[in-house]
Structure 1
Amino acid sequence: MPVPTTPIGRVLVTGGASGLGAAVVDAVLEAGGTPIVLDLRVEGVADGVDAVAVDVTDTAATEQAVRDAAERHGGLDAVVTAAGIDKPAPIGGLSATDWEQIVGVNLLGTAAVVRAALPTLEENHGRVVTIASSLALRGVGDGTAYSASKFGVRGFSQALAAETAGKVGVTNVIPAGMRTNFFADRTEQYKPGPDALLIEPSYVANVVLFALAQPAGCEIREVSVMPATEPSWP
């Protein structure tokens, strides 16, 4: 007997102009859904996709952008919070501004988007997919801000799932390093080497779509996606 699935509807994706976010947008389109992109820059987003430039560290602007998107599309069925940044450095070598920006994008931006989307998601029995990291499971040196933010995303997701159980689905996806431009602006010390274990963002996007398509009443609460020989897990 085939398992019923939930149609992929109107999906707001933060960080949707590049990397994992762009892969999620492609997957939503392929599944017949309607992606809506929020990103700091929206150049490169496919023609016909609703895309709005916003800095997710600006809470008021972000919340307004989410509400406006919901109004334009007659509601939202899901939110995927794929916006994320990092700047590896020893804690004493990372400025307060950089530390706060990393936490602001990764954790506070996630919360701002979800908070603004919650009324329409509750109305539509929608879903939230948050993106953490394998560094939300184990912290590493020179990654204090990033690990703190991603540990926070994981905790936020668990608390949100408990708070909205039966009303909104919540899934926390924990990917290891992906083959994206996430590492492009780093010094050589912090770039993956030629033999680095990285996965394609499309693999993680497939997992996101799988979570969004679960039948009503069934939720995937947490899932890790990584190479078979990933050293940062468990």
Structure 2
Amino acid sequence: MDAVLVTGGSSGLGAAVVEAVTKAGGRPYVIDRQRPAEGVPWVECDLADTRAAEAATREVIADAGGLDGVVTAAGMDVPGALADVPGEVWDRIIQIDLMATAAVIRAALPALTDSHGGIVTISSTLGIKAVSDATAYCAAKFGVVGFTRALSAELAGQVGVTLVIPGGMRTRFFDERDEKYKPGPDAILNDPANVAAAILFALQQPAGSAVRELVIAAERESSYP
């Protein structure tokens, strides 16, 4: 593992993956709207624009001189009843959480095939268990599950593909939500560093071995199983 592209690498799980890759001696590259940690190369991009996401990915590959891994950690959610979430917000959740995942991987495939690299997509426990007031997020994350399973079959023997299904984590993901959608003070959330370590494990599999799916959650995660 050398050059690893991390979408959403400036915060949350993405930032934890960047740190894990760096500690392991790899070279993280970030695509995000915000600047990542000091010294981490990045391309500024709104991932909701999927053509721009493809162009940003190609820019990273040119800068890195190739690519060994991709982690699609960028994600967003705005909970609410379907009738209450504005259409443009609902669409943006799908665009960032699902469409950008496919766009970045599509653009990275030639480089990943050359390196026999690895892909890690990030779904959610809400990608396998649906809940109320999360139609866009569940649609996107269920989509990531189906997309990744199909991609795994398509790329078998060429590129390693791993689906990661994390439970709730202690990040800023919940900060801008209405209070009724925020985890309570007694909520049990996982450390994103734990999930990042599992992602690194998947990326570091030897040739001929692939970790297909990982569910990673706090021991008393309420949304799984």
TM-score (norm 1): 0.95
> How far does the alpha carbon of each residue in 1:73-126 deviate from its partner, in whole angstroms, 9 at most, with x for none?
110000000000000001111111111000000000100000000000001101
Residue 39 of structure 1, CA deviation: 0.5
Q: Which amino acid aligns with 2:102?
A: A
Q: Please give the secondary structure, in 2, of the residue aligned with 1:153.
A: helix
Distance 1:228 1:24 in 2: 21
Residue 57 of structure 1, CA deviation: 1.1
* Match of residue 101, structure 1, among 73, 85, 92: 92
* Match of residue 13, structure 1, among 3, 6, 20: 6
Question: 1:54: which partner in 2?
Answer: 45
Distance 2:30 2:109 in 1: 17
* Match of residue 33, structure 1, among 26, 31, 44: 26
Q: Please give the secondary structure, in 2, of the residue aligned with 1:17.
A: coil
Residue 63 of structure 1, CA deviation: 0.6
> How far does the alpha carbon of each residue in 1:178-213 deviate from its partner, in whole angstroms, 9 at most, with x for none?
000000000110000110010010000000000001
Question: 2:181: which partner in 1?
Answer: 190
Distance 2:59 2:219 in 1: 41
Matches within 5 A, 1:1-234: 8-42=1-35, 45-234=36-225
Divergent runs of 4+, >4 A: none
Q: Which runs of 5+ in 2 are unaligned?
A: none
Q: Please give the secondary structure, in 1, of the residue aligned with 2:31.
A: strand
Q: Which amino acid aligns with 1:24?
A: V
> How far does the alpha carbon of each residue in 1:153-197 deviate from its partner, in whole angstroms, 9 at most, with x for none?
010000000001000100010000000000000011000011001
Q: Please give the secondary structure, in 1, of the residue aligned with 2:208.
A: coil
Distance 2:59 2:185 in 1: 43
Instruction: Give aligned-pair identity as a percent.
Output: 54
Q: Please give the secondary structure, in 1, of the residue aligned with 2:83.
A: helix
Q: Please give the secondary structure, in 2, of the residue aligned with 1:20.
A: helix
Distance 2:39 2:94 in 1: 32
Q: Which amino acid aligns with 1:56?
A: L
Distance 2:129 2:30 in 1: 30
Q: Which amino acid aligns with 1:29?
A: T
Q: How many residues align?
A: 225
Q: Which amino acid aligns with 1:215?
A: P
Distance 1:233 1:62 in 2: 32
TM-score (norm 2): 0.99
Distance 2:155 2:60 in 1: 22
Q: Please give the secondary structure, in 2, of the residue aligned with 1:171.
A: strand
Distance 1:105 1:201 in 2: 20
Contact preservation (8 Å) 2:81, 2:134: yes
